[in-house]
Structure formats: structure tokens, C-alpha cells
Amino acid sequence: MNLLTRLRERSAKRVMEDRLVWQAASLLLAYPDENLAARLAAVDEMLGHISGPAAELLGRTVAALRDLQPLEAAIDYVATFDMRRRCTMYLTYWTAGDTRNRGREMLAFATAYREAGVQPPSDEAPDHLTVVLEFAATVHPELGRQLLIQHRVPIDVLRGALADAKSPYEPTVRAICHTLPVDDDQQARRAQRLAGDLLEAGPPTEAVGLQPFTLTVPPRREGVAGV
């Protein structure tokens, strides 16, 4: 086997592992509804095909979620992602600020999905991290990776906020970071500025009337009614 063939095989293996990390992370970062146990079992199966630090990090979130009672998991999720602005998973919130100014950037996500041959989900905003991860994992890994890289700074801020909150979701976001290029000093400084500018408050809620591609993670929930 020549060097070029080995490099191609190594690259293909990396892409496949990254896709598994993104799919697993999308499942773990979803609202913990009645299907949580099934999603954790699916992630367990994926972990058998993931190597390196990402597998250990994802496994930590799986173990932590398994230790929580359903109501406890739901309350913790809402308190983490719905009540802390620094923990929002709506990526354009970080780059465009107030929701009234986010339309153009959200449209860029929707356009990317359509160019890949799918329609954005109707039950979640196209810039939500779980949606981007699922798109990268199951539809178009190259374009999905580009979207994640373009929003590496918000993802880093999210990871830092989850670490400060000692959240069981932090290892999963760190696993996502392992699939992306190492951030440079400029990105790190920008992340620090973003984190410093935000107060602990509820993130914006915004819906878009778009037709869905198949989304295996549940949409964001308002509160914990019905849990």
C-alpha cells in the first residue's frame, strides 16, 4: 500500500469518526425526553467506533445522564440551556446579537442545508447546535464542518460556560471541539470578550417556518411540563 492510499484511508477514517462524534453529540445535547434511554444506548454503540479523547468525553456525559432521574435531567437541562444566556446553543445569537438582527445569518444556515439537498427542520431553528451537528453527521460532513468551524468561537464560549456550571454536557461540547481545528489566540480572545459581555439570562427563542429534514433529536422544550 503506497503512502497516498494510506493517507486517503486515514482521512476517510477521521471523517467517519468525526461524523460519529457529531451524531453522538447531537443526541446527548438534545432535550432529555422519554426517549433519552434509547438515545444513550445509541451513543453507547457509536462509542465502539470512536477513538481518542472524544470517546472518553462523550462517555462521561452518557454516564452522568444515566445517573439522573428523568425529571431531574429535564430540570437540569432547562436550567442550563434555557436560563443561562452564556449556555445558549443558538449559534447566531453570538454573532448577530439580538434576535431581530439574526435573520440574515439564520438564513445562511437554511441556505446551506438546501444547497445540500435537504430542507431545514420546522421544529427547531437552523442555527441550533444540535441541528448543525446532525446535518454534519448525516447529510453533508464537509459543509457541516465548515459551519462548525465558522462558529468555533461561540462553541468555545458555550464549552467554557458549561465548565463553569460544572455541567455534565461540557465533556460533549469539548468532544465537538476535538473534531475542529485548534483555535488560535485571536479566537480565544474573542471568546473571552463574548463571555464577558453576557449576563446570566434566558437565551432568545425564535422559530422559523421551514420544512424539515429528518431530525432525530427532539426540539427544544419550553419548561418541563409533561415530564
Q: Quick: pLDDT tens for 80-121.
A: 998 888 898 999 887 766 556 678 888 899 999 999 999 998
Q: What is the pLDDT of residue 179?
A: 96
Residues in CB range of 90: below 8 A, 6 or more apart: 125, 127, 128, 129, 203, 204, 206
Q: What is the pLDDT of residue 193?
A: 60
- Quote the CA–CA distance of 124 and 208 in Å, as a whole number: 7
Cα dihedral across residues 189, 194, 200, 204: positive or negative: negative
Q: Are 59 and 47 in contact (CB under 8 A)?
A: yes
Q: What is the pLDDT of residue 227?
A: 34
| Residue numbers in the chain where pLDDT is lower than 50 | 191, 199-212, 222-227
- Residue 104: CB atoms within 10 A of its CB come to 9
Q: What is the pLDDT of residue 201?
A: 42
Q: What is the pLDDT of residue 17?
A: 95
**Size of the chain in residues:** 227
Distances from the Cα of 58 to the Cα of 67, 114, 211, angstroms: 15, 30, 30
Q: What is the pLDDT of residue 205?
A: 46
- Quote the CA–CA distance of 205 and 37 in Å, as a whole number: 27
- Quote the CA–CA distance of 9 and 190 in Å, as a whole number: 36
Domains recognised in the chain with CATH numbers? 3-201 (1.10.3480)
Q: What is the pLDDT of residue 102?
A: 76
